[in-house]
Chains A and B, each alone.
Chain A
């Protein structure tokens, strides 16, 4: 039998039928839904007189629009409130499970899927959200879709897809103690570029990946889309099975044992071929900081703002000039000289309990610089509760951080958490696009420890040498 990659195994076990040109009707095991990309899909479904094929394979939660301050009085923005209400009503009408804003299980859709055991290895998982790639950390084929496709999945539990190519990103060696999965993925994007993975599913392999915890693997897979790949995968192993065991929606007892035996067969066979292979050394990765308006515009914190004149081609030169103008940065400035106004710890990339524990460890006993406004937004109500049980909220609050309710918050600033024009932010989120965190706002993507250190010092510091 031919050696197969993990992607090929998952894909092939989900083929319902194939068209002559290879377009595949692919079965979808799990569907996550949030308020922003679903209303038009539900409307289409209803107008066509259709019902969801498997409402029980779908889980809905509001996350993009929800306030991260006191929620007892609802959402003050009437447009946001209407969108969240529309999701709740659609779920009620169609028999879909919905975690409301004041449910402890509410949170960012890509945090709660794994947290509830909704995400399992070998599954196909979709959501009208590009960061669905997060769930690939479990060895699930998970990718973002548009609203038309949300309607397609609701109606048919399937999607029409062209088979993507495969890319192996192998990371060997040991990561510096102060670096994390965030630095690995930013370094990968810096190497392959923001379109490097277009048309591909990435499988992350190598010793540095195997050593990552499940939450680290989620951070890694989360940003696959920032490298252009719709999906990223990590082979399931003991870390994965232990993480899943006893989660509310995970299989139990005999069924769990049987599932684990099947999940162990998912790994890429020795000798299987990828369409592309990229290799990195983890020991060469410094803490990463983005300097531009695209996640591939990234360097080590020990580096400098690059000079567009030294870019290899006209296209990159122009893009860098635009970016530096927007970011108000001068070529040659050491990254550690960049001063910050805001610090945001949160998002589907870095808002899980391990992220908060790590950040708290660095900030304990220190104070946020007076010039900096810093906030922590946990990824879910349950993450928040866990952090509070461990006293992490006290550490953050004593240091001067705001401690908020769960949601997407200032990652994309659809709620009231917004950068003002010209404000510069160290953010643990995933996109440094122009205006992403607020019109005119300037975003630098970093890991949670780097964000914390920047909050304390008021500028970036090399966390490896920070006392």
Chain B
């Protein structure tokens, strides 16, 4: 996993609440057995209007947001299906950081496991950022994970919370499976204890 330390990047706005993972990446892209090549599916159903012309509202259809690495969005982003294809598609498009007032649980977790930092700011802060992004073309933010800050070009600093364990894994790009496997003896001891306490859990298929 690619570590995340600091990022200064162009911000793209997606002004919708409850964006579900079906919208982030539609079902037809779930048939792949790879993790890559998903950018063409990102927000696919929102790219065109019903008459088939590009929807100018979507950031992907506005050249000023080409190369954005930070996505600014609204409440409950990533709700619905657990498909990890959603963070894979966002990553494939170049996003390394997402900012919203809240994220859905499974999606939030999936981001950390793919080197994407989801930042929770309060609704007022997010609203202020939406106004700023729209007002100035080329609007960039600097996100510092170690310091847990988002800094605007005017040097306004927003602070965010992140679990220390997840933060450490993301800062160093650690493989969480490798970390867990270091505790193999503890896992084995747990299993032995449970085989006595609750033997009905152990007949394997």
Contacts and interface: CB of A to CB of B under 8 A. Distances in A.
A130 B82 contact: yes
Given A433-B80, A439-B45, A120 B200 contact: yes
B180 A160 contact: yes
B64 interface: no
Contact of A228 (B23, B45, B104, B110): B104
Interface in A52-78: 53-59, 64-65, 77
Nearest to B112: A148
A377 to B, nearest CB: 16
Contact of B31 (A80, A129, A143): A80
Contacts of B23: 433-435
Contacts of A160: 165, 176, 179-180
B22 A431 contact: yes
Interface stretch (A17-25, A204-212, A361-369): A17-25
Interface string B53-96: 00000000000000000000011100111111001000000000
Contact of B187 (A16, A83, A128): A16
Interface residues of A, number: 84
A102 interface: no
A39 B177 contact: no
A144 interface: yes
Contacts of A64: 30
Contacts of B187: 16, 25, 27, 53, 156-158
A121 to B, nearest CB: 10
A147 interface: yes
Interface stretch (B3-11, B13-21, B137-145): B13-21
Contact of B33 (A23, A86, A152): A86
Contacts, number: 191
Contacts of A267: none
A36 to B, nearest CB: 5
B105 A228 contact: yes
A423 to B, nearest CB: 14
Contact of B82 (A23, A129, A194): A129
A146 B113 contact: yes
Given A148-B113, A152-B176, A195-B76, A37 B83 contact: yes
Contact of A315 (B26, B75, B204): B75
Interface stretch (A249-257, A379-387, A396-404, A456-464): A249-257
Contacts of A228: 76, 79, 104-105
A194 B104 CA distance: 9
Contact of B190 (A16, A149, A162): A16
A148 B114 contact: yes
B31 A195 contact: no
A128 B85 CA distance: 12
Contacts of A40: 33-35, 84
Interface in B32-64: 32-35, 45, 50
Contacts of B104: 195, 198, 228
Contacts of A431: 20, 22, 80-81
B204 A56 contact: yes
B163 interface: yes
Given A130-B82, A156-B181, A195-B79, A23 B165 contact: yes
A122 B201 CA distance: 10
A258 interface: yes
Nearest to B111: A146
A56 B205 CA distance: 4
Interface string B171-205: 00000110111011011001100100111110111
B27 interface: yes
Contacts of A433: 20, 22-23, 80
A39 to B, nearest CB: 4
A21 B109 contact: no
Contact of B201 (A43, A123, A199): A123
Contacts of B74: 315
Interface in A230-259: 230, 249, 251, 255-256, 258-259
Contact of B205 (A97, A122, A152, A195): A97
B106 A152 contact: no
B41 to A, nearest CB: 12
Interface of B: 16-18, 20, 22-23, 26-28, 30-35, 45, 50, 74-76, 79-84, 87, 102, 104-106, 109-110, 113-114, 163-166, 176-177, 179-181, 183-184, 186-187, 190-191, 194, 197-201, 203-205
15 contacts: A39-B33, A80-B31, A128-B84, A148-B176, A149-B110, A155-B180, A156-B180, A160-B165, A199-B105, A225-B106, A251-B200, A259-B198, A412-B27, A433-B23, A434-B22
Interface of A: 13, 16-17, 19-21, 23, 25, 27, 29, 36-37, 39-40, 43, 48, 50, 53-59, 64-65, 77, 79-80, 82-83, 86, 97, 120, 122-123, 128-130, 143-149, 151-152, 155-158, 160, 162, 164, 194-195, 198-199, 225, 228, 230, 249, 251, 255-256, 258-259, 262, 294, 315, 318-319, 322, 412-414, 431, 433-436, 439-440
